[in-house]
Chain A
Amino acid sequence: MSRDIGKIEQQARRAGYQDGLLELFAAGVLFVIALGWIANPGFVGILAAFIVLYGWKLFDRVKARVTYPRIGYSRERADEPQSSAWGMLWFIAGAFLLAIVVIALSGGLAEPAEWRRAAPLISGMTLSGGFWYAAEQSGLARYRLVAALAVLLGVLLWLVGSGEDYSGVVWHLLGLAGTLALLGTWALVTFVRSHPIRELDADG
């Protein structure tokens, strides 16, 4: 019986992710950050914070127009520290530690070129933590796929990179943004086709 309750709970959490909007939002964020990196790497942090802060409001508005009229409104719990959220933070901390070890082994921590070369690796490990968390929350396999792809692409670009510039991390972000845009578009089209808009009166 408790297993059934668990299934109902996960299905309810998964419902909010099935529209593909999170993938499209993440794709947009990564794309803008990649362009920002090309323009001026020094402002990437500020740019990312700005996009997440204001982009989230836009994301909510789109959800209100696309998702809520079809499957209803739901809001995730934010008040409880969940084990998967801590797992994600530990994973990201571990990823940074691993990246430092890799940089130290491959040429020295004081060498800026090695940091530039390892940037896609750090980006991949960090982003995979976020997508792994989304997979844990929703139970959707496509987030695990993106998490794995983020790491694989990061490793690949680190191996072939020269460290002359930040092109590796830019390609990493663009590659992931493209994948997410495709996945998100596919999920959104499937969602809109399979969930017509429902009309409820004032009771609903």
Chain B
Amino acid sequence: MADELPSIDPDRLIHEPGRLAILAILNALEEVDFLFLMEQTGLTKGNLSSHTAKLETAGYIEIEKAFVGKVPRTVYRLTEAGSEALDGYRRHMEGILNSLG
């Protein structure tokens, strides 16, 4: 029975709802800034910074700090590795749900 089921252990880094939301947003758009991520995820500034730092360390997102005129803007983008990880996570979860009927 256990052989028929896919592994139930997903990518822990992505499985956390806040980080999953960040990756999904970055998957949908080319690039976004910090405020956009805050608005869309509903995370606090501290939580968002912590989650994006973990995703950057894992190589799933890239962060670029720049100035637009005199205004600082931190821009976030999904990397190739992040895109593959999100696809893998999606397939993994669908596999589990399908195996449960």
- A200, B94: Cβ atoms closer than 8 Å: no
Count of chain A residues near B, Cβ 8 A:
27
- How many B residues touch the partner, as a band? 20 to 34
* Chain B 36-59 per-residue mask, 1 if CB under 8 angstroms from chain A, else 0: 111110000100010000000000
Quick one: which of B87-101 are within 8 Å of A by CB?
90, 93-94, 97
Q: Which 10 A-B pairs have the closest CB atoms?
A: A72-B36, A72-B35, A9-B28, A8-B24, A204-B34, A1-B93, A73-B33, A12-B25, A74-B32, A12-B28
Residue ranges of B at the interface with A (Cβ–Cβ < 8 Å): 20-21, 24-25, 27-40, 45, 49, 68, 72-75, 86, 90, 93-94, 97
Residue ranges of A at the interface with B (Cβ–Cβ < 8 Å): 1-2, 5, 8-13, 15-16, 64, 68, 71-79, 198, 200, 202-204
What are 29 A-B interface contacts by the 8 Å CB criterion? Answer: A1-B93, A1-B97, A2-B90, A5-B20, A5-B24, A5-B86, A8-B28, A8-B40, A9-B24, A9-B25, A12-B29, A64-B68, A71-B36, A72-B32, A72-B38, A72-B39, A73-B75, A74-B29, A74-B32, A74-B33, A75-B32, A198-B35, A200-B34, A200-B45, A203-B34, A204-B33, A204-B34, A204-B72, A204-B74
